A and B are shown apart, each in its own frame.
Chain A
Amino acid sequence: AQRVTQPEKLLSVFKGAPVELKCNYSYSGSPELFWYVQYSRQRLQLLLRHISRESIKGFTADLNKGETSFHLKKPFAQEEDSAMYYCALSFFGNEKLTFGTGTRLTIIP
């Protein structure tokens, strides 16, 4: 069965410092990986997906199939990045999402 692990429940980073939120997955096959974000008092929304290879709000994530990881990175944290971040996976042709437990990111001014 597929599984997504986010080892850090809480992460605090100073403004301007680099950010890395870790995500590891277990799945036999070719998964599609996502990062979802939930800002305070807002609904869960897609931040980025690996197949699009886009950089959204300065965030990037590279799928490393050898290490089964999909870490989220940003070179310079901003205060508005404070939010709850969820890593998720699905497999092609099926839209069921399997989520990790989430990491609460706090940016310290």
Chain B
Amino acid sequence: ETGVTQSPTHLIKTRGQQVTLRCSSQSGHNTVSWYQQALGQGPQFIFQYYREEENGRGNFPPRFSGLQFPNYSSELNVNALELDDSALYLCASSLSGGTYEQYFGPGTRLTVT
């Protein structure tokens, strides 16, 4: 069974640029959730995708957007990067049903300068 993978591991962007982060869900999982973890904070829910549709969104502006593909992998896109977007971005996959465990990836560390 393959675990959740994320790419890239680290990246550095300049304010105003756009970034795409990628996530491969665990085998058999059809739901992907994205979280932002700022330094010293717990993860904050960005949004969730289920069968290629957005299925819930946290308190993040529209410049945070996502996609889920037929193989259930997912992308997180952030436009017009701001310094406060610097954080660890976590992806978690699960099998939809409301009571299933979420399995987290190792995260992508984004630094905006």
Contacts and interface: CB of A to CB of B under 8 A. Distances in A.
B96 A95 contact: yes
Contact of A44 (B43, B56, B96): B43
A94 B104 contact: no
Contact of B98 (A4, A44, A92, A102): A92
B42 interface: yes
A32 B98 CA distance: 10
Interface residues of A, number: 21
B40 interface: yes
Most buried by A among B40, B43, B103, B105: B43
Given A95-B94, A96-B48, A46 B42 contact: no
Interface in B1-48: 4, 31, 33, 35, 40-45, 48
Nearest to A87: B42
A66 interface: no
Given A43-B104, A43-B107, A45-B104, A92 B99 contact: yes
Interface of A: 4, 32, 43-46, 49, 51, 86, 88, 92-102
